Structure 1
Amino acid sequence: MQRERLDGGRAVIAARDADERPDTDEIERLAAAAGFETVTTVTQRRREDRTYNLGRGRAETLAERVAETDADAVIFDGQLTPGQHGDLRGLLPDGTELIDRYRLVLEIFADGAGDERAKKQVELATLEYEYPRLRQTTEVQSMSSRTEKGSIVYDVDDRIDRLRTEIQSLSASAAERRAERREQGFDLVALAGYTNAGKSTLLHRLADDLSLSALAENHGDETVTANTEDRLFETLETTTRRATVDGRRLLVTDTVGLIDDLPHDLVESFSATLGEIGDSDAVVAVVDAAVDDEAFRRRAETTLDVLASEADRVLPVVNKADLVDDATVARRAETLARLAPDAEQPVAVSATEGDGLAQLRDRLRALLPTETTRLELPNTGETQAVLSWLHDHGTADVDYDGDRVAVTFVGRPDVVREARRRAEETTDD
Structure 2
Amino acid sequence: MNPYQELVTDSSRNVILVMRTDPDSDSEDNRRKLQEFCELTKALNDRVVDVITQERYPDRKYNVGSGKAKEIAIAARDKRANRIIFYDPLSTSQIYNISKLCNEAGASCRVMDRFQLILDIFAQRATTHRSKLQVELARLRYELPNARMLVSLSKKEERAGWGGLGDYEDSYEQDIKKRIARITAELKKADLEEEARRVYRHKNGFFIVSLAGYTNAGKSTLFNALVDEQTESKDMFFTTLIPKTRALVINKRKILLTDTVGFIEDLPHFLVDAFRSTLEGIYFSDMILLVVDFSEPVEHIRKKLMISHETLWEKSTSNIITVLNKSETMKPDERKKKLRELSHLIYNPIFISAKTGMGIANLIDEINQNLPALMTRTISLPNDERGASAMSWFYDNGVVEEILYGKYMTFEFSAAEDVMSKADDIVSKAQ
Q: TM-score, normalised by structure 2?
A: 0.85
Structure 2 SS opposite 1:137: helix
| 1:373 match | 376
Contact 2:49 2:79 in 1 (8 A): yes
Aligned mates of 1:256, 1:423 — CA distance in 2:
42
**166 and 401 in structure 1: CA distance in 2 versus 1, 3 angstrom threshold:** closer
Asked whether the 8 Å contact 2:12–2:46 carries over to 1, the reply is: yes
2:318 is aligned with 1:315: no
Residue 327 of structure 1 pairs with residue 330 of structure 2 = no
3-state SS, counterpart of residue 295 of structure 1: helix
Determine the structure 2 residue equivalent to 1:9.
13
1:333·1:347 contact (CA, 8 Å) conserved in 2? no
Could you tell me how far 1:15 is from its partner in structure 2? 0.3
Task: Give, as a single letter, the amino acid of the residue that structure 2 aligns with 1:393.
Answer: N
Instruction: Tell me whether 1:281 sits opposite 2:291 in the alignment.
Output: no
Contact kept, 8 Å, 1:283 with 1:311, in 2: the verdict is: no
1:288-343 CA-to-partner distances (Å, cap 9, x unmatched) read: 11222222222222222211124222221111111222233324444554125xxx
2:383 touches 2:406 (CA, 8 Å); kept in 1?
Answer: no
For 1:346, the aligned partner's letter is P
2:401 partner SS: strand
> Given the alignment, which residue of 291, 296, 302 partners 1:297?
302
The yes-or-no answer on 1:417 pairing with 2:430 is no
Correspondent of 1:396 among 394, 400, 407: 400
Residues of 1 paired with 2:180 and 2:414: CA distance? 47
Deviation at 1:65, TM superposition (A): 2.5
Task: Read off the aligned partner of 1:419 and give its amino acid letter.
Answer: A
Q: Deviations over 1:153-172 (max 9, x none)?
A: 33222212111111111111
What letter matches 1:200 in structure 2? S
**Partners in 2 of 1:126 and 1:269 — Cα distance?**
9
Structure 2 residue aligned with 1:106? 119
TM-score, scaled to structure 1? 0.86
Partners of 2:388 and 2:143 lie apart in 1 by 61
Partner of 2:366: 363
> Take 1:286 and 1:47, find their aligned partners in 2: how far apart are those partners?
36
For 1:227-281, what per-residue CA distance to the aligned partner results, in whole angstroms no more than 9, with x for missing partners? 2222321110111111111111111111112222212332122112212212221
> Do the aligned partners of residues 375 and 359 (structure 1) sit closer, same or farther apart at CA in structure 2, a change above 3 Å counting?
same
Number of the residue aligned with 2:157: none
| C-alpha distance in 2 between matches for 1:360 and 1:419 | 31
Match of 2:246 in 1: 241
The within-5 A match list for 1:84-99 is 84-93=94-103, 95-99=108-112
The 3-state SS of whatever aligns with 1:311 is: coil
> How far did residue 26 of structure 1 move?
1.5
One-letter amino acid of the counterpart of residue 60, structure 1: K
What is the percent sequence identity of the aligned residues? 31
Aligned match of 1:214 = none
- Structure 2 counterpart of 1:215: none
Contact 2:147–2:169, Cα closer than 8 Å, also in 1:
no
**Partners in 1 of 2:53 and 2:127 — Cα distance?**
35
Tell me which amino acid in the other structure corresponds to 1:188. I
1:7-406 alignment runs, 5 A limit: 9-18=13-22, 19-21=25-27, 22-23=30-31, 24-93=34-103, 95-139=108-152, 140-144=163-167, 151-207=171-227, 210-211=228-229, 225-313=230-318, 314-334=320-340, 337-339=343-345, 344-381=347-384, 382-400=386-404, 402-406=406-410
**Number of corresponding residues:** 400
